[in-house]
Structure formats: C-alpha cells, structure tokens
Structure 1
Amino acid sequence: MNDVAAAGFGFYDGIAPETDFDRLADGSAYRPLPGDWFVGVADIVDSTGHIAAGRYKTVNTVGAAVISAQINAAKGAAFPFVFGGDGAGFAFPEAHRAVAEDALARVIRWADEEFGFTMRGALVPVADVRAAGLDVQVARYRPSTGVDYAMFAGGGLAWAEKAMKAGRYGIEPAPAGTFPDLEGLSCRWTPMRARNGKILSILIVPQPGAAPGQVAGVAQRVLEITKRLDRGGHPVPAEGPGVGWPPEGLALEAHATHGRTSLLRRKAYLLAATFMAYVLFKTRWRAGTFDPSHYVHTTRDNADYRKFDDGLKMTIDCDAETRMKIEAVLKRAQADGIVSYGLFEQDEAIMTCIVPAVSRDDHVHFIDGAAGGYTSAATAIRQTAAGASQA
C-alpha cells in the first residue's frame, strides 16, 4: 500500500468485522469516525425520472461507479462505503481529501458525458455533522470470508445527503473529457427472478427524535420475520447468479471502462472476454487457478442484499404472507413515531459488481431491485411524508 493510500486509514482497519448481522441492529458494534474525517455523498438528480424511462440498470451502474472510483483511488486501503441505488456514501481521513475529491469530480463529469446524468457530490466534515447534533458511526459486517461491508449509524450520512441537496459542500465536475478510474466495475450477471413471489425492496429510517432502542427493536422484528424465508430472503439463488451472452450490461460496462479507448473497440474486447467467461461458467471448467464454481458461490455469499445505512435497507425474495407481516410491524412503528418506511415490489433483482481480480475473493456485489428498488422505496417515504403534512 502506498503512502497516500495508507495515510489515516488505520482507524477503519482497527474495527473488527461482525459476522452476526443481527448485532448490527442494536448499535453496540459501531464506532464513531475520528473528528478529522470526512464523509462523501453523491446521487443522481431526477433518478426517479430516469427509472421511469427504463434506465434503472444505468442508474445503478453510475451509483456504483462512485464507489469503484474511490476504491481505485485508495489503492488498496480499506475505507467505509455504502451503495444506495442511485448514489453512494463513503468516508475517509482528511489526508486523503484531495484524492477523494478528484475521484468524485471525475465520476460527476463522466456521468454527464457518457449518460447525460446530472450528478451531485459533496464532501462534508464529520465535525460539521457533530456540530449539527448528529454523528457518523461505522461498523463492519463480514458476510463471507472474502469481503466485508461498512454499516453506518448516527444519522450523519443522511444529514450530509440533505445538506448536499440543499446546495452545501458541493464539488464541481472535473474538466471536460476527464475519465474516472473504474477498473473492475462490471454488470455481467443476468437479472435474478423472484422465486418466492416478488423481490421486495425495504427501506426503514428513524423518525426525528425516535429512541435508538425503539428503532433497533423494529429492525430486529423485521429481521426475525425474514428468517422464515429460504436463506433469509437472499435474492441470489443458492446455485449462484445466472449468465448469458452477450451480457445485458455489456454496453454499460464499455461506457464505464473505455477511458480514452474508443467505445467500439472496448465493446469488441468485452464481447470476446465475456464469451470466454460465459463458456467457463456454463461448463464449470477450470482455467488455471480460476474455478468458476467457487467464483459463482463467492459472488452469492459476497452480495450486500441487506445493510444499515442510517436505517435498515434490504432487497429480499419475499412471499406475500411475509410481506404482510413486515408491513404490519412497520405500519405500527410508523404510527408510533418510531420509523418511516418504504416498500417497493418488482419481479427481479439486479447486481452491479466491483471485481479487482477474479483470482481473489474480495469482489463486492451490490444488490437492488430491477425496476426501482431502493430509489422507489425512498420515493414512497417522501410521498407518505408529503401526504401527512397536507392532512
């Protein structure tokens, strides 16, 4: 690891990952970020409009690109990040600020030039979050031996996003023609159809002033209900995700990774590379040290279908009875002033991936609903809030 990447990241390295997801609901596993750290946030303006136009896979890819660019800029240093569907959040030490800002500015420019998306981005001092009476706390969850994901609590990341949308802490796009380093960003797996009924995107956020213990209790009740589902509602099939050729996300991956190479040449390269991968995954033939069966199973285990991001987010394969039980808990908790919630159903889940190297097990896989997912669940919360204010 080089000096730039290593500077100040030791705090996160010192957090022991949890393997029991339920423990993340009660807050005991979280540690506050150091006072000289920053949080970064980014999202796509009018993502709901792009989703309505059928571009949700593109929205997901651009949201994941924020994380991909930061991973490559950190050059091996571990840092906390979370995928939000139409954007992302992350945190880093003050010594890394210039590098993080450059990587985010490049993604903002690229999102506009490649896809016509207007993207917002902001870097917010943790000290300002605390001055506003909130905090940014992080934990690490290890779903498999190969990878772990950051979980956020304290309300600070949500506060930073609101500040960004209000026009504070914003950063400018990089100069025209500037490309981010998105090496490893891919979207090659086929969509995963629901097997139990519907893919249910769940978003649960604390109401202002709600007691943390009450919020944790609601999350724990929801998690307990999902345990009745096969594999806890994991949307990736037990045998792993499916493959097709050419992959549906090939054009998106070409836009993400062509850099100064022509788009046509990059597509031709990816067509050849993905065909070779398709043959290996279909036949399960080993190629040197690469074992496609192991890779597929690791992909399944590494998927982030549930997370804490100042609230509980889940994308699960859910039957109608389980959905009714979950919604009953959430309706009561919302009426009691504990949480607000949004639910959104669709037929499929999709996965966007960051794969540093196929020979390692540290590839990360972001799960979302294929027809709106977390973004549409968040819209449902806003619509409920608007209706309540007019009542």
Structure 2
Amino acid sequence: MNDFYDQLPLQDAFAKLSDQALYTPLPDDWLVGTADIVGSTLAIAEGRYKTVNMIGAAVISAQINAAGGRAFPFIFGGDGAAFACPPEQGDAAARALSEVRVWAGEEFGLTLRVAMVPVSTIRTAGREVAVARYQAAQGVDYAMFTGGGISWAEAEMKRGQFDLPHADPGTQPDLTGLSCRWSQMKARNGQILSVLIQPEDGADDTAVAALIRDVLQVVGDLDRNGHPAPAEGPGTGWPPEGAEIEARATRGKMTVEKRKRQILFESFVAWLLIKTGLKIGGFDGRSYARKVGENADFRKFDDGLKMTLDCDDATAARLTELLETARKAGAIRYGMHSQSEAMMTCIVPSIMRDDHVHFIDGAAGGYTQAATQIKGGSV
C-alpha cells in the first residue's frame, strides 16, 4: 500500500508554508486529477453560486468516498477542485470524476471538465507537483501545493487534453457526507475579500516567498487572520438555504423531496441544539459549531496563495498596494473580489468525529470572480 501521503509531517504554522523546502514532490507514478465548471462565471451571475460551490466540493466528496478512508491530497477551488492519488487508486478516482461530471450535467445542467494527468507527464513539461500538509485544527489537515504542476494540468484540461470517458447516463456518484446547511457569514469588518496570488513564470522564488510573508503579515493584523467564520462558528438558520441543492446532490435513489425532508428534519434538530445548548447522545451542537469554524479552509497554497478574508477597508488597501508593487515588478499576477458575505460547503462523514472539512468561498462567487480579474505583467 502506498503510504507516501500518510508519512508527510503536519505543519501547524500557515505562514511557514511559503517556504518551498517544506514541500515534498509527489512520487513520479502518481496521478493528478482536476475538474472545473465550464461557464461558472455566468452561472454565478445568474445567482447559482451555491450550486457552483456544491459541484466543486462534490468532486472532493466523491474522491473521499472512492478512497475508502485513505488520506490523499486535495484542494478546493470554488468552481472546481484538484487532487492527487497513487496509481492503485487511479481507476477508482477516474471513475468517480466521470460520475460527478455526468451528475453535474443531468442534475444541474452544468458542464464539468475533468482530467487525470500523470505526475511524470507534468514533470516532462517542466513543472513540479510538490505537496505539504497544513494542520488547520486538531484532527483536520489540508493539502498545500506548489511547483506549478496543478495549474499546468488545469490549463491542459481546458485545452481538452487528458479527458476521461463519460460515465453512463443516470450515474449517481457517492456523495455521502456532502452538505450545505450553514447560513452565509456576513462580513464583520466591512467586506469579504477573495484574493488570488500567482507567481509569474520565471519569477524569483525567494522574492515571491518574501512577498507572501509580507502579505500574511498584513493579514495577520486582522482578527483571527481574517477568518470569515466567527469564533463561535458560522450561524445556522432554519430552514437552511441550501436544503434543495443538498437534496439534489445527495438523494441517491431517493426522490429529491424525500431527501429534502430528511435534511430539513436533521437540520432542525441541529439548529435546536445549537440555539438551546442542549446535548443529545453525546452531541454538543455549540461545540460542533465552534469546531466547524476551526476546521474551515479559508486560506491555502495552490501554486500561489488563495484567501477568503473578513477584511476592513484599510487592510484591503494595504494589500492592494503591496500586490500592485509586486505585479509591476513582474513577480506576480493577482485578482481580488469584494463581497458582503462568505459561504461554506461541507463534507461531514460523521458529526460525532472531528475530521469534518469545510470549504469557504465568497458568497458572490469569490474565487471564480477573482480569477476573472487577474492582473499581471510589469508596466
């Protein structure tokens, strides 16, 4: 059994992950999987941002279930996702990707691009895929990527390369654990700022790492480093806004209405426990809500730096000035998008364990919108 990822050390200081020396190249025989939604910007403009995020998270959920509990590196991108797996998991991973593509088209009318690319091919193209594990909280860690290989694989996918066969019509992926029940999180400090920072090709690694440290130092002045979720955890209302989308995502062979009734009942019980502080069967709703916030993935290294920040105007201005200077020097390209709320999409294998993961994005399509505003090149 391939235990490469299990043996990687857990890093508990996010800022240190700007150091390339903390990353380990993936084995040459591993595979990188990528997926993204065609026309996601238009879908977001139509108000379908919850659906876009749900499909992006579904890519990861299907891979978690296909892996049968084995840990593997993955990263959420808003309108898509990427992951890596050992060769013995390749067939199951490709099948799960193809199933999510068919499901996204049939259930939501959105086209999902997917691809599986050998790491050896990425290296032949002159890019690297190196990974580190960041421990966001006790029991939960997220993969961080560097080397440009994930970005290269995504660009090739968009060119139609490394495509996969379509699954049969009507195929339902296993999306057990995928959910969308928390309320959107309103900015407490003025705005929710989605930030993407990517090194320019040929940029000096040392200079880029120094810039990232400067950026994180600026962000460090924000409460809890700009975490969009309050310390007590995200809010929960009833009925949850995402009940219909979650029902369509996780219904399996049930009707949407039956699955929705289940979700409404489960979420009502959780809402009641969080509001009252009551505990049932060892489940502490308020403690769980706090843990959700602690576990959430609001910043990441993904061939660059991505962040969703609860940010005041002065800090946003400082960030913009810093990034503009680096852009004009030819070191980076970057994009930003400001909105009033953040949103969360979750994968919860069990509410009785602490290994649930939660992906945060701007509620107006933050990462996707920021990507459309990427500015680069020296002037």
Compute the displacement of 1:28 (Å).
1.8
Higher mean C-alpha deviation, range 210-219 or range 358-367: 210-219
The residue that corresponds to 2:91 in the other structure is 98
Equivalent residues in 2 for 1:92-171, closer than 5 Å: 92-171=85-164
The residue that corresponds to 1:81 in the other structure is 74
The residue that corresponds to 2:176 in the other structure is 183
The residue that corresponds to 1:72 in the other structure is 65
Compute the displacement of 1:211 (Å).
1.2
Amino-acid identity (%): 56
Out of 283, 294, 305, which is 1:312 matched to?
305
| Residue aligned with 1:245, SS | coil
Equivalent residues in 2 for 1:1-391, closer than 5 Å: 7-8=1-2, 10-381=3-374, 384=375
Compute the displacement of 1:203 (Å).
0.2
- Aligned mates of 1:273, 1:12 — CA distance in 2: 34
Counterpart amino acid of 2:41? T
Q: How many residues align?
A: 379
Q: Which string of whole-angstrom CA distances, capped at 9 and with x for unpartnered residues, describes residues 152-188 of structure 1?
A: 0000000000000011001132110100000000010
Counterpart amino acid of 2:198? V
Counterpart amino acid of 2:328? A
Superposition TM-score, scaled by structure 1 size? 0.95
- Aligned mates of 1:173, 1:328 — CA distance in 2: 46
Counterpart amino acid of 1:90? F
| Residue aligned with 1:34, SS | coil
Paired residues of 2:348 and 2:357 also in contact (CA < 8 A): yes
- Aligned mates of 2:355, 2:261 — CA distance in 1: 27
Compute the displacement of 1:213 (Å).
1.1
Counterpart amino acid of 1:275? F
**Which runs of structure 1 show a deviation greater than 6 angstroms over 4 or more consecutive aligned residues?**
none
Compute the displacement of 1:325 (Å).
0.5
Q: Which string of whole-angstrom CA distances, capped at 9 and with x for unpartnered residues, describes residues 248-273 of structure 1?
A: 01001101110111111111121212
- Aligned mates of 2:177, 2:296 — CA distance in 1: 16
Paired residues of 2:273 and 2:286 also in contact (CA < 8 A): no
Stretches of structure 1 lacking an aligned partner (at least 5 in a row): 1-6
The residue that corresponds to 1:3 in the other structure is none
Paired residues of 2:298 and 2:307 also in contact (CA < 8 A): yes
Stretches of structure 2 lacking an aligned partner (at least 5 in a row): none
| Residue aligned with 2:265, SS | helix
| Residue aligned with 1:240, SS | coil
Compute the displacement of 1:372 (Å).
1.7
Higher mean C-alpha deviation, range 267-276 or range 90-99: 267-276
